[in-house]
Structure 1
């Protein structure tokens, strides 16, 4: 495998690690917003929003309160 393939694999694994960290935070802080999660984990809000989107699409996280402003939506573990 070429070094570019290994680099891409590292990036993919890094994304999975962030997803797991965000999932763990939401599990212990139901009702947290993306902004609160980003501040607590010291991760960019855009990165957290992408993680939450993937986790929601995968059925692991659900939106607690739907708000027209995505930054005000709160999240919890899906049932």
Structure 2
């Protein structure tokens, strides 16, 4: 019985952790008014706080913007 409960708890922890990561969305800045920034996240437009320029790609997390992470290039032979 205890193995089943531990397995259930581990599965639930995994689901919750992946759900928290999915709330960080890649967005594009459409308008700036002081520290209020309007972003378009795949059709969902919202206003968040931060500093950015119109056209910048940003990540929205907890109602604030962060610079989008640059992906590393893969080197070949």
Check whether TM > 0.5: no
TM-score by length of 1: 0.37
Larger Rg: 2
**Higher RCO (C-alpha under 8 Å, 6+ residues apart):** 1
TM-score by length of 2: 0.38
Q: Greater strand percent: which structure?
A: 2
